[in-house]
Chains A and B, each alone.
Chain A
């Protein structure tokens, strides 16, 4: 199983099974692949993909606002044994009710409170121990403001990383959106983020959404503004090892994926 490139940034994308063949032909362009879903039983290309690319576990392993079940921990361990990536990713999210009867089925941030901080710290440690690999955590944007927060997102993240030693997977479209919907500049929004903890960056585009009546994440190449922001963060992130084009959708084409990765490589001079 190949290892991540050493001595420079690894520039990769998400594994989209319908694009397996173009990805295999583009092995010189795409350095690594993130896995959002386990390989399907009938995915004939996956053994070649696993032989060709370093793989990063970026599945839904469970919401760390709640203790993970034995089943979820065993599944996470199994996936990491399959991929053997240098780190495992999860999200700062809480999208299911405690009784499991209601779900948003989409990333959604927790309330930034002391109670949630304690919950995430405790459950992240358990997950990290279970997978026996470093854990990185991804930031999630909100779309509306609730008056229940006891701290900012930046403080929540900083304290979490200080207490756990986990790494930060900084999703830049998420930052751009959080800044946009709070009426701030993205760099000002990032001012108090623990950028020294960043291990991986996500880049992608944004598009107008009819329901939101504003921009949201889209499986499109990163805008120049996102790439400029990525470079700005990279200058402040000595532990940065990988940049991943964050798009995982049946509608994604090989052309868009490869253009996005090539634009990212060009921006970073890789």
Chain B
């Protein structure tokens, strides 16, 4: 334990948390020096935590598709999810993408309740990416997107479709309208889904961490003032990490 004791106890606790969160750390020799029986218990606890975490996030994110017989919680009890747990890094974007893709594939096999079914599943998948990603993003020299943030154009008017589904109202062709939505999550955990205009969409896609605000303005053919305003808005909703230069 002498190596571990050279750190502060708080640092050591971080190591314990990381051990439980990250299956690759548990498999590596750089993990915690636990006797075999306790290591086995820790692994069981890690699986318990992950199953609980994704069950909760799936239930919160796939709230509308469940109205059509799809059960997001039941997915965490399938063999496919068991296999995922063996490599899971709890709260990572990669894990959220894997679980989201697996679930959507599972749900797409169900009879579609309407022509908007694929759009609804995509909406819920992108919401889930925000709910199930807890990784931090540090500031870089230039503005860049938070890894889980997504900007997607749908063929159906999702905001109104969701309202109709919530109140069990009919959903007809009048809801067919292109709408671009931005999905993001602040560092305090608040999730945003907002309809965005062309300028915001363009700035979001151009803010790749390699372009300065002036270069983003040149790329998007927007004024510097508009770009700055949009970047501030994107940072407020957790979609973009502002420049480390302020």
Contacts and interface: CB of A to CB of B under 8 A. Distances in A.
Q: Answer yes or no: are A and B bound together in one complex.
A: yes
Contacts of B21: 102-104
Interface stretch (B47-55, B204-212, B235-243): B47-55
A111 B44 contact: no
Contact of B10 (A115, A143, A181): A115
B17 A146 contact: no
B38 A144 contact: yes
B226 to A, nearest CB: 30
B44 to A, nearest CB: 5
Interface string A217-229: 0000000000000
Contacts of B17: 94-97, 102-104, 108
Interface in A99-123: 99-106, 108, 110-111, 113-116, 119
Interface string A43-84: 000000000000000000000011000010000000000000
B10 A104 contact: no
Nearest to A149: B9
B90 A104 contact: yes
Contacts of B13: 65, 94, 110-111, 116
Secondary structure type dominating chain B contacts: helix
B32 interface: yes
Contacts of A96: 17
Contact of A105 (B8, B11, B53, B187): B53
Contacts of A102: 14, 17-18, 21-22, 90-91, 134-135
B12 A148 contact: yes
A216 interface: yes
B16 A100 contact: no
B224 interface: no
Contacts of B48: 209, 211-212, 216
Contacts of B90: 102-105
B83 interface: no
Nearest to A209: B48
Contacts of B33: 147
B59 interface: yes
Nearest to A105: B53
Given A97-B14, A146-B16, A211-B51, A105 B9 contact: no
B161 to A, nearest CB: 19
B4 interface: yes
B11 to A, nearest CB: 8
Contacts of B42: 143-144
25 contacts: A65-B10, A94-B17, A100-B134, A100-B187, A101-B136, A102-B91, A103-B21, A103-B91, A103-B134, A104-B17, A104-B20, A105-B90, A106-B52, A110-B13, A113-B9, A115-B8, A115-B10, A116-B9, A144-B41, A144-B42, A148-B12, A212-B44, A212-B48, A213-B44, A250-B59
Given A106-B53, A108-B17, A111-B16, 14 more contacts: A66-B10, A71-B188, A100-B134, A100-B136, A102-B135, A104-B17, A104-B90, A105-B56, A105-B134, A116-B10, A144-B34, A144-B38, A211-B48, A213-B44
9 tightest A-B CB contacts, nearest first? A144-B41, A211-B48, A115-B9, A101-B136, A211-B47, A97-B14, A143-B45, A113-B9, A144-B42
